[in-house]
Structure 1
């Protein structure tokens, strides 16, 4: 990075802090600080949803998975695409709640202050892990850009960079609350869009200039040469050898699991619609903001494909594919010497900070509303509550920074964060529609999910060590070997050279895997990819007690692709935590020995989705409903549309409490609160579904430009 790059970063940071100071003067009470006075229109709601939902880890993750799996790697982030139409419906919920936090919703719906406190503890843990993925991604991205691995006092650069970013976020977020977060999200959202497209034209021009484009067709030269240098199977979205990591059934299961859990992510009370002026602003902001993110995902995938064509021989990426974005930005934008490298780093920082500020404010609201106010100081004034909110907002950023410094594994951190919403998902979904769902059932479901999915898997093997040696728990996924014969491309040759360079260096690691084929361009090569062989019932590796053999299950040939499926035979012992959901499948008579890795991941869906709902339903039927009067008030409120004027909205609510609306209920004489959809519901949902198809078509079309 040059002096102008650092100047760009300095201007960016100074602007964010200035916005925080400006917004601080507008904060007078809790609603101003935690919800910005509920005065945000479509533009700010759109960029709030876009910014909060777009993390710095996602461009890095998509870059890595596209580099290793081809275009199908885009599903590592695009899995949220099919959830987006549902946001048209859920955005109304968050606005009609009329609460400052989702903890307040759990308190009201289940008439339990303790449930709000439990949700607050969940939110703190969730955001510490979720934000840590972004901080870790920033550190990996920045190293090749800055050009050094060591920061202050001789420690790794991340020990300097992560605390510095945390300080900036704390400064403007603590000062200005949600108003500062949303205005910075607007600016940062524009930066994220810039991040998503900046490397594409410059990368295509770089490809054309380096590899002999005649310049007559402009960017199309770059697309054409990209297809010449990269194998065609890397441009397939759903099919082909490179898409084995994300088959269709796995994508569907990821989408369903994402839908079930996303609604209880704590920031959705704000960015999901709760801070909007009206329900229309809530809906349009949430849906459009998330479709903007989907469009950006297309840009991230195209950038990774460009990097494959241009930088396949780069040793840094060969050693760590997480560095695709950082190396691409340095190699493509650096020679221009226009401050674009600093701008690119500012863009990725914007992707992280636009999420971190909102998460920090939401968490501080939960601490104030559901811990401090009810249990420590119920009689505090508004000024005191805002002060406590500012101070406790530090928890999430400091905690996330600590996790990022201790773990530094983006995928592990992200996986932990995504599994936590299982605890509260069923009580939320069922509580929205069924009166019989009560506090005892909600608590029982949370305790069951906590024990079954998090505590017992760790505790049981330690309490009963003989489980590690059980032959029935030593099964592994199928070992699938795919062999593809095709002509070698320029990127194949470059990849082998990069692999050889890294292997010969002192920093080489066994995690590099087998070498890419060594051949000249145009020679026939054999691409062999092997997956599977992982433990089914254990999260740790298996240790062989005797020689483990591979037994062939099936072989098939289709065109140039040969596929052999094998399973491991031999005595092995387990390690790590126990996957109780798969033990349950086995106990019910399902034979999981030898299933594919993708199928195994798909089978996680039924247990994580169905079991909590079954527990909640059964406990609700066996216990008494909560107080009828409070249930009547809650459902009357949720069935009453919001008015933009707070006074008029309050008056309408009082009328609804006295005469609850029932005309739109599908089952008016039952405990079910399903209502008939309005024309606006149907039209908006249908248009969102159509937009999903358009985005998939756009991605396929762009990836196919220049191909034969």
Structure 2
């Protein structure tokens, strides 16, 4: 086994010890339900910053950003970086989750609409999606990086492993000759076969010595140990420590990478011009055109409201200013480190192109770490990656734990004590972490999972956004949006691949040719030959069927004629707008919730959180007696839209957030311009 030095193991072991100690320190804070799930609602601005930074800045984001930039150039940064436009909006959004004064996001459906069934369904759906997508995704990325750090020496390769690496190297050589127009005609059949095998994931440019199951088990036991002991308080303590490691792992590769590329001047010369375009054309290297960024942002805006961590993090704040400050500052921190991740992707293009290109783009981060970092630094990178993903998974696991205990377990045991709920929450953590391990072993492609994760909660997000600002939202409308979106975005796309009549349908297994002459699937995630050794064997679709594109084609859009960026934009536009439209239309023709319930909800949403629990209780008592006492703050008094006038804190915070947003985007432009100059 090669890759890690004794010093690296010492650093990694030290990290695990610190995390367990932090969990032990927080045990006293987790004796009650509010203490375990929400850290007693007393976390200030500093802890809120680290909670939001750690929750948003996962190693999975680093890997996916570097991987996408490596494949598509700097414009690939926008798949995550477009969220910077949400930061000024967070200044208003996060106080909603503090003012609602609930424990879980699912509670909002019961409090606002009076629907226990919707609350339970949201809780169950979110638990499944959080485990199957978010948490398993984090596990997968941690393993992807770690497996690239711990590799087999060449003399210990098996014959099959040796052949896989040799075939990949031959593929890269033939691809290079093909681009130059120097590939002999008799070799084109072999190139086609190797491309098919590459599409199946059968080729590799290195062999890992790290087995997935032992890694997942040790990794998960560590996360479970500190959050089961200390709950949200332990998560907050750990985030403060892990936040420092996240910054370290985000920048540690850059000096070594620039040096390996030959310095700043050589780095710019080794990068193709298209790789340095912030906005791609959609036809060549990059899928991220202006339209793509707008579509992804719209889907992200909708989904942002349904993230389960919103409630657990915001509600743990001692007041709404701490909640909004932590959300905005923590996510600004994430935007800054995103630039460093993208820069690592550019370095990877310079180092691993042509015959040196990587077989799996998801291995960029791990491969660079293994080749560029020495003893000690490699261990620090390993610890930083683990810390980054642990912080995100811990926050998600706490949200899932609260959802199960409050919205499912308590439904079966309405008289459960506080102690019972904490016990149920702890056992939930154990179960979901173990299930996350099992699901992780079934995932393979980071980019594909990332796209799925960005849209899975959009219907609930659209519902929650409208529930916060529009009095007319109905239970039937939310059910309609959830059912319609699930059919288009989850059920049909994921089940279609199991029906041969669909996977072999000629109109769905279409492939177009990209600018480098490679076949690119249109409707399926991948389209391959049933027999990779036979160039004339039938084509078959594999992976996700992009039902959104099938719909667009059905209404007359020339999907095949769109660029790859145009097709990606089309998918996100459908996913974002469909549930929003379904809720608006259905709400106008179905029965509204009771007026008294709606009045009480919006009265509460206009009541600022008191500085102490006693003051807050007194303010809420006054609102319960007169839910309209703050209606003078509405922009349109008689409208069903609940928009309120901004106060001084709203205005200053929003303007400062806008200035910082523009400043960070400007920093990205300066970095790219400096490299290309």
| Same fold, judged at TM 0.5 (above) | yes
Show the counterpart of 1:541. 527
TM-score, normalized by length of structure 1? 0.80
Residue of structure 1 aligned with 2:258, choices 195, 204, 215: 204
Within the alignment, does 1:252 sit opposite 2:294 as a pair? yes
Cα shift at 1:577: 6.4
For residues 345 and 503 of structure 2, the distance between their equivalents in structure 1, rounded to whole angstroms, comes to: 41
Cα shift at 1:467: 6.5
Within the alignment, does 1:48 sit opposite 2:37 as a pair? no
Show the counterpart of 2:248. 194
For residues 223 and 457 of structure 1, the distance between their equivalents in structure 2, rounded to whole angstroms, comes to: 44
Show the counterpart of 1:361. 398
Shifted more, 284-293 versus 615-624: the winner is: 615-624
| CA 344–424 in structure 1, closer or farther in 2 if over 3 Å, else same | same
For residues 91 and 13 of structure 1, the distance between their equivalents in structure 2, rounded to whole angstroms, comes to: 32
Within the alignment, does 1:329 sit opposite 2:383 as a pair? no
| CA 631–576 in structure 1, closer or farther in 2 if over 3 Å, else same | same
Show the counterpart of 2:266. 225
Within the alignment, does 1:633 sit opposite 2:673 as a pair? no
Q: Does the CA contact (< 8 Å) of 2:456 and 2:489 recur in 1?
A: no
| CA 2–470 in structure 1, closer or farther in 2 if over 3 Å, else same | closer
| CA 444–319 in structure 1, closer or farther in 2 if over 3 Å, else same | closer
Cα shift at 1:391: 0.8
For residues 497 and 11 of structure 2, the distance between their equivalents in structure 1, rounded to whole angstroms, comes to: 53
For residues 493 and 361 of structure 2, the distance between their equivalents in structure 1, rounded to whole angstroms, comes to: 31
Q: Does the CA contact (< 8 Å) of 2:91 and 2:650 recur in 1?
A: yes
| CA 311–620 in structure 1, closer or farther in 2 if over 3 Å, else same | closer
Show the counterpart of 1:140. 144
Cα shift at 1:681: 2.4
What does residue range 262-411 of structure 1 map to in structure 2 within 5 Å?
Answer: 262-271=304-313, 273-310=314-351, 318-334=358-374, 337=375, 339-375=376-412, 377-411=413-447
| CA 622–239 in structure 1, closer or farther in 2 if over 3 Å, else same | closer
The Cα offsets for residues 250-308 of structure 1, whole Å up to 9 and x where unpaired, read as: 1111111111112101111123x222111211111101111111110111122233344
SS at match of 2:26: helix
Q: Does the CA contact (< 8 Å) of 2:299 and 2:454 recur in 1?
A: no
Q: Does the CA contact (< 8 Å) of 2:144 and 2:363 recur in 1?
A: yes
Q: Does the CA contact (< 8 Å) of 1:61 and 1:76 recur in 2?
A: no
The Cα offsets for residues 565-584 of structure 1, whole Å up to 9 and x where unpaired, read as: xxxxxx98867765444444
| CA 686–652 in structure 1, closer or farther in 2 if over 3 Å, else same | same
Show the counterpart of 1:59. 62
The Cα offsets for residues 141-198 of structure 1, whole Å up to 9 and x where unpaired, read as: 1123233499xxx995222111111000000011000000011011111110111112
Q: Does the CA contact (< 8 Å) of 2:69 and 2:346 recur in 1?
A: yes
Q: Does the CA contact (< 8 Å) of 1:70 and 1:305 recur in 2?
A: yes
SS at match of 1:419: coil
User: Where do 5+ consecutive residues of structure 1 fail to align?
Assistant: 212-221, 482-528, 545-570
Show the counterpart of 1:662. 631
| CA 467–639 in structure 1, closer or farther in 2 if over 3 Å, else same | same
Show the counterpart of 1:422. 458
Within the alignment, does 1:177 sit opposite 2:231 as a pair? yes
For residues 575 and 199 of structure 1, the distance between their equivalents in structure 2, rounded to whole angstroms, comes to: 35
Within the alignment, does 1:607 sit opposite 2:574 as a pair? yes
For residues 554 and 522 of structure 2, the distance between their equivalents in structure 1, rounded to whole angstroms, comes to: 17
Within the alignment, does 1:130 sit opposite 2:134 as a pair? yes
| CA 445–594 in structure 1, closer or farther in 2 if over 3 Å, else same | same
User: Where do 5+ consecutive residues of structure 2 fail to align?
Assistant: 157-207, 531-537
Show the counterpart of 2:471. 435
Shifted more, 104-113 versus 416-425: the winner is: 416-425
Cα shift at 1:597: 1.7
For residues 591 and 706 of structure 1, the distance between their equivalents in structure 2, rounded to whole angstroms, comes to: 38
For residues 285 and 85 of structure 2, the distance between their equivalents in structure 1, rounded to whole angstroms, comes to: 19
SS at match of 1:603: helix
Show the counterpart of 2:178. none
Shifted more, 579-588 versus 341-350: the winner is: 579-588
Residue of structure 2 aligned with 1:9, choices 8, 12, 23: 12
For residues 130 and 280 of structure 1, the distance between their equivalents in structure 2, rounded to whole angstroms, comes to: 28
Q: Does the CA contact (< 8 Å) of 1:85 and 1:689 recur in 2?
A: yes
Show the counterpart of 2:26. 23
The Cα offsets for residues 403-433 of structure 1, whole Å up to 9 and x where unpaired, read as: 1112233233333333320331222111112
Show the counterpart of 1:672. 641
For residues 573 and 669 of structure 2, the distance between their equivalents in structure 1, rounded to whole angstroms, comes to: 31
| Greater relative contact order, per chain length (Cα 8 Å cut-off, separation 6+) | 2
Q: Does the CA contact (< 8 Å) of 2:458 and 2:575 recur in 1?
A: yes
Shifted more, 690-699 versus 20-29: the winner is: 690-699
| CA 21–456 in structure 1, closer or farther in 2 if over 3 Å, else same | same
What does residue range 25-174 of structure 1 map to in structure 2 within 5 Å?
Answer: 25-128=28-131, 129-148=133-152, 157-174=211-228
TM-score, normalized by length of structure 2? 0.84
